[in-house]
Each structure stands twice: as structure tokens, then as C-alpha cells.
Amino acid sequence: MGNEGTATSAADVGPVVEVKNLRFTYPGIDGHPPPGSAPLIDGFSLSLRAGDRCLLVGTNGAGKTTILKILGGKHMVDPEMVRILGRSAFHDTALTSSGDLSYLGGEWRRDVAFAGFGVSIQMDISAEKMIYGVSGVDPQRRDELINVLDIDLSWRMHKASDGQRRRIQICMGLLKPFKVLLLDEITVDLDVLARANLLRYLSKECEERGATIIYATHIFDGLEDWPTHVVYVAHGKLQLAVPLEKVKEMSNLSLMRTVESWLRKERDEDRRRRQERKAIGLPEHEKQLEGTRVTGDPARSAVQVMNNGWAAGRLHSTVAGQENFFLSSNRVLRQ
């Protein structure tokens, strides 16, 4: 990640994931961001190299899923803002069709891409048929995944438990040897053993094949030494992007407790800000417009309507130690 050093055994061929000043607003019903809407993601920059395992943390609604979906090419942004393997995630559809870029999360919770169709995960079909239905797969890789996820090929999707179904989905999502994997909390239903085995397998993928993974989760069980980097996002803005060793230098607490302390600090700052707004007669919360945060004078910001995703100012996030940072008023973590 950046020049901070990475735990990769792969040849260093520059950034695999490069996000530069990402700015994004969800479109309204007319396909454009509502007039006066403030970007949901703003000034977000990130650079990851082959072998990096990045843990993406933040409160509910911070923007993690939105960021992962943008990186997965599911929302259009300016091609220069998001480069995956040097290509535009949204515009270069071969990135995902080849399996080089894989996104597991979101809608994927309800169905799974199967032979080119979205197949309901509840239909009467065997695990074997689902998994073997994916063509062009290395049989050895398939066997290893079936083993890692401890899948019984005779399971039938409509009768399987949530966790069993999830294992089949994860297996299918990992069959192609991805170069970049975006995981949006997919382990919720997994038992402790399945989750531990999966995390170990994913580490191996990064160490041996130089794959790059970004994983958004609220579950810290088994994650203490899993990531090589930690990225903290709040209100759509990057707060912190550092190697795990730096996080450990910053705090003696466990990873979960450290992240908890960041989120607590953020919440306290939010509360203080709301009280300040209330004290001067403003509504506690900024006005919402069709799911998009609205700030400032709508008439003035209307010029941004046709400019969805255009670059904002550069964000600098440098953190040397927990005692040295604070959440500034524009929520950028500074030294």
C-alpha cells in the first residue's frame, strides 16, 4: 500500500488497486445526483499492491459497501479515479468477466452467478451441480476449495442451512483465480472453523499468488493478524490507511479494541457536532435528500449535478500514533 511497505512475496509491479480522489454520489430517479447533494464518498484515495490484504473498517453507513461496489465496477465513476490492474473497473468489463476482479457481497447474498445467470440460492439443485457448473476451472483449485469449505457435494441448495449455502456461494465465487478480491462481509453465517479455514486460504492466496484482497467486516474474530493493512473510512472519507504493524505501534489494544476506540471517538465527535448545531438553532442532522446527504446551498452545488464522480481535493492521511491524531472538522484524520 503506497510506499509504506507490503507483506507480499509477489514481484512488485506497481499498484494493483489505485483509487485517486474518488468522489461519488448515488444518482436520484433521473439518473443524476439530486441537486444540492453532497458526495457520499469524497476525496478517497488508496493504493494497494499485489499480496496486500486490506481490512476496511467503519461504522454502519460509513460507505464501505459503496466503495467496494465502485471498485468492483458496479457504479460508474471517472475512469481515472479507480484503476484495477491498471484498468477502469466500470468501463473494462473484461476485468470481471475474466475473473481477475471478483466481488462477493451485496446482491450476491440472494443469488449467485451461475452459467451466466443469476440463480436463486434457494433452488432445488445440488452443491455438486452448482460448483461443477462453473466452466473453465482448475480441478485442483476446485477440490481444494471444496475441502477448505468442507462442502458435501450432495447438499441441496433448498434444504441446506444458511451457513452451508454460504459456503457453496463462497466456493463458487473463489473458483476462478482472482487477482483482486473484494469481500463485503460474507462470513456472517459461517461457523468458527469454516471462517478460520477461509481466512487462512485467503492469506495463502495473497502470499503464494500475489492476490490482493479488500475485506469489509464488523467481525474481528480471527482477524488479529490477518490483514497486512487497515483502512478506516468515516462518512465516505478516508480516515486512516496504514500497515497493520503501524496500527499495533499506535495501540496496545487488540485490533478489535483499537478499531472500537476509533469508532467511539468518531461517535463522540458526531454527538458534539450535533449539539453544536442544535445550540445555534440548526437541525441536529444535515438535511437528507433522497438518501443523499445535502449540505450548503443547493442552488450553488447544482452545478455538480452533471459532474458525478469528478475529482475533489487531495486528501492527506498521516497517522503516527493514536495520541497524535484527532478527527478534524472535515473528518480527515490528521497528525
Contact set with ligand ATP (CB under 6 A)? 26, 40, 58, 60-66, 291-292
**Is 40 or 327 the residue whose CB approaches ligand ATP more closely?**
40
Residue 147 Cβ vs ligand ATP, minimum distance, rounded to whole Å: 31
Residue 208 Cβ vs ligand ATP, minimum distance, rounded to whole Å: 30
Residue 65 Cβ vs ligand ATP, minimum distance, rounded to whole Å: 3
CA dist 289 to 4, 28, 274, 300, 312, Å?
A: 39, 9, 18, 16, 21
Residue 93 Cβ vs ligand ATP, minimum distance, rounded to whole Å: 21
Question: Hey, what amino acid is at 35?
Answer: P
**Is 68 or 149 the residue whose CB approaches ligand ATP more closely?**
68
**Is 74 or 156 the residue whose CB approaches ligand ATP more closely?**
74
Rounded Cα distance, 111 and 50, in Å: 29
Rounded Cα distance, 211 and 50, in Å: 6
Contacts 24+ apart (CB under 8 A), 293-300: 293/37, 293/38, 293/40, 294/34, 294/36, 294/37, 294/38, 295/38, 296/36, 296/38, 297/36, 298/35, 298/36, 299/35, 299/36
Listed residue (235, 248, 228, 213) closest to 315, CA to CA? 235
Residue 294 Cβ vs ligand ATP, minimum distance, rounded to whole Å: 12
Q: Which contiguous run of DSSP H or E holds residue 232?
A: strand 229-234
**Is 63 or 227 the residue whose CB approaches ligand ATP more closely?**
63
**Is 167 or 237 the residue whose CB approaches ligand ATP more closely?**
237
Rounded Cα distance, 28 and 257, in Å: 38
**Is 63 or 72 the residue whose CB approaches ligand ATP more closely?**
63
268 Cβ partners below 8 Å, 6+ apart? none
Residue 62 Cβ vs ligand ATP, minimum distance, rounded to whole Å: 4
**Is 46 or 146 the residue whose CB approaches ligand ATP more closely?**
46
Residue 124 Cβ vs ligand ATP, minimum distance, rounded to whole Å: 31
How does DSSP assign 81-102, residue by residue? TEEETTEETTT-THHHHTTSEE
